[in-house]
Amino acid sequence: MPGRRPKRWQDVDHSDEPLLEHVVGSKSHQLRGPIPEFLAKKAAERAPKTYEWYRESLTQLWTFLEERGLTTVGQFDEHAVNLFRRHLRERGVSDNTLSNRLRAIKAFARWLGQRGWTQGNVLADLKVPQSTRPRFDLIADETRGNLFALYHPDTFLGSRNLAMLAVLSDTGLRREEVVNLLTKNVELDSHVLKVYSDKTEEWRYVPLTDEAVALVRTYLRRRESFFGRSARRRIGPGTEERERVPRRLQSDHLFVTCEGTPLTPHSLSHLLRRASKQLGVRIHPHLFRHDWITRKALDGENPSLVRRWAGHKTFVMTDAYFDLAEEMLGAVKPKRSVLSSVALPTARKRGRPPKAAGR
């Protein structure tokens, strides 16, 4: 008698299986279930920040469900997610945060159905609130000038910081893209940057202005001079005796530390936080991106070019900046009225006309 054919994964009922399970051995600790499996897939396929978005959203959801005993695949449904939605609202989270959490959870639900954990998408009918467009002010020319004035172009660190600010201001690159720029991909003679984005997993070319090129050239000269000289370092801890040690450039990245290692995204953010305290104005790396794209829209730049330079996958995000630019243009006072050269009738004042002045 032939043996029974084993059931396929998709045909097995997984309703009673836990969404997340800790399997602890004598020398090991493993996480099993659809949540760890989904997050492992995202960690392998998506950019780190995108993975962190999924991880944080599902961790919050799991904590909420576990406290209420809703821990199995069968108990993960629209009602459970609506309870979580109400919980977030009671905590006072913003509409944008709520929308982000629910979008990540809906992506997880779609994957559950595709993978076979559930019979179809259990959150297909869940409505997600529309995200509101973020509001921000452009970086004022005075603020930008004060920011550049904080650093001296005749030093290695000063010239580096000025070059980074120039790239941020004139290209709209993301924080990670700036610190990951390779020297070989900075074509100063052609005024072009070749940029790779971990977020979109694509290469793109971004034009570089004359002003930015000049500051990058100055930085490269200072960098070559800095690493061409030796440094005086302490021989050991607890002693003031020093010895001459040659400096080494240990990376092919454009922006490096005094030790010759690549600058990190956190270092760039920290640099701007310190500058913000000195100026009394909040400045962060992504604000330069907001500012640059909006100014391109105000200048009447081609939206297709702006989308490619900015590295947006679709026109949705680019259009948001162009819509904001339209609102700003509506508030701009015209430099000259169309009616300024036209003789317009004026309203006659009441009472007797004034007497002519005597000669």
Q: What is the pLDDT of residues 72-111, one digit of tens each?
A: 999 999 999 999 999 999 988 888 888 889 999 999 999 9
Higher pLDDT, 321 or 116: 116
Residues 6+ apart with CB under 8 A from 321: 290, 293, 294, 296, 297, 306
pLDDT at 338: 63
Residue 309 contacts residue 318 (beta carbons within 8 Å): no
Which secondary-structure segment (H or E) carries 286?
A: helix 285-298
Higher pLDDT, 237 or 154: 154
Residue 41 contacts residue 56 (beta carbons within 8 Å): no
What percentage of the chain reaches a pLDDT higher than 90? 54
> How would you label 91-126 residue by residue, b for 16+ Cβ within 10 Å and e otherwise?
eebeeeebbbbbbbbbbbbbbbbeeebbeeebbeeb
Reported pTM: 0.64
Residue 297 contacts residue 325 (beta carbons within 8 Å): yes
Q: Which domains does the chain have, with CATH numbers?
A: 12-115 (1.10.150), 141-231+244-330 (1.10.443.10)
pLDDT at 92: 86
Mean pLDDT of the 136-140 span: 79
pLDDT at 356: 62
Residue 170 contacts residue 212 (beta carbons within 8 Å): yes
pLDDT at 1: 46
Which residues is 206 bridged to in the sheet? Answer: 193
pLDDT at 267: 93
Residues 6+ apart with CB under 8 A from 334: none
Return the minimum-mean-pLDDT range out of 99-108, 137-146, 149-158, 327-336: 327-336
